[in-house]
Amino acid sequence: MTWVLANLGLIWARTLDHVVLSLPPIVICFVIAVPLGWFARRYRVSRGIILTGAGLLYAVPSLPLIFVLPAVIGTSLLSPVNVIIALTLYGIALMVRVVADGLDSVDADVRQSASAMGYSTWSRFWQVELPLSGPVLLAGMRVVAVSTVSLVTVGAVIGVQSLGSLFTDGFQRGIQAEIIAGLVATVALALLFDGALVLAGRVLMPWTRRVAPPKPSVPLEVSAA
């Protein structure tokens, strides 16, 4: 505990590093996964290719990926961009399937009636299908957020500063308190991100909260009034 109190500044700085590394992958993977997931759902062939590809991508171990990326995209070995891109790829791998499943979950009747109302394919996607797949997308994004926050720590092994640096440093110098502090702060950050997503879901999808089963007696009286 004394170590923690003496190093609050360090923990805070690493926490900020951690946020800076984990926010971009979470946001970017969503932005990229939505059109990819839509495309995967659109045609049978593209579904097979994209979903299998995403599955394989997720199977690539993170540490080698972070090592190999600089060679592929020409960044320096120590650049935080490597970590951000690697984690974005993982996020996409997870979310593409979720987006495809989420769009599948939209009631066919609703989709059809939206078309019959005169929604174009484009407006129907943005105003009907995407919002209605919201609950599924949110569930996927919660997994992505938590796993991204935890995977950012791997970057510490190649020297990209984050809360993971507290593990590596703690191990090397034998400071147990530092390791535990890193662990606790990482978990706390993951919970914070998760909570923020849940909150955003409540604000953006008010209809999911007010789904009380219709009580037959009350509404009937109202209609009779």
Partner 1 sequence: MIEFRSVSKRFPDGTLAVQDFSLVLPSHKTTVLVGSSGSGKTTLLRMINRMVDPTSGSVEIDGEDIASLPPVKLRRGIGYVMQNSGLLPHRTVLDNVATVPLLRGTPKRQARADALAMLDTVGLDRALADRYPSQLSGGQQQRVGVARGLAVNPNILLMDEPFGAVDPIVRAELQQELVRLQKELDKTVVFVTHDIEEAFLLGDQIVILREGGRIAQVGSPADLLARPADDFVASFVGADRGRRVLHVERHGDGNVVVDSDGRLAGVLNGEPVAGTSAGSSAGSTPGAEGDR
Stretches 36-44, 48-56, 116-124, 180-188: which one binds partner 1 (CB under 8 A)? Answer: 116-124
Which residue in the set 12, 49, 123, 176 belongs to the binding site for partner 1 (CB under 8 A)? 123
Are the C-beta atoms of 181 and 11 separated by less than 8 Å?
yes
Are the C-beta atoms of 110 and 125 separated by less than 8 Å?
no
Stretches 17-25, 37-45, 64-72, 204-212: which one binds partner 1 (CB under 8 A)? Answer: 204-212
Are the C-beta atoms of 189 and 18 separated by less than 8 Å?
yes
Residue 219 interacts with partner 1 (CB under 8 A): yes or no: yes
Q: How many whole angstroms from its chain centre is CA 63?
A: 19
Q: To the nearest 5 percent, what fractions of the chain are helix, strand and coil? A: 85, 0, 15
Which residue in the set 16, 110, 196, 200 belongs to the binding site for partner 1 (CB under 8 A)? 110
Task: Give me the sign of the Cα torsion angle 55, 59, 63, 65.
Answer: negative
Stretches 32-40, 60-68, 130-138, 154-162: which one binds partner 1 (CB under 8 A)? Answer: 130-138
Classify residue 125 as exposed, middle or buried by CB count within 10 Å of its CB (0-12, 13-18, 19+): middle
Task: Report residue 70 as tokens.
Answer: 């600089």
Nearer to partner 1, 64 or 219 (CB): 219
Stretches 21-29, 77-85, 105-113, 151-159: which one binds partner 1 (CB under 8 A)? Answer: 105-113
Which residue in the set 39, 131, 147, 177 belongs to the binding site for partner 1 (CB under 8 A)? 131
Nearer to partner 1, 52 or 208 (CB): 208
Q: Give the largest CA-CA distance in the chain.
A: 76
Which residue in the set 26, 54, 114, 156 belongs to the binding site for partner 1 (CB under 8 A)? 114
Residue 210 interacts with partner 1 (CB under 8 A): yes or no: yes
Give the residue carrying structure tokens 């997931």. 37
The residues binding partner 1 (CB under 8 A) are 107, 109-110, 112-120, 123, 128, 131-132, 134, 205, 207, 210-212, 214, 216, 219-220, 222-223, 225
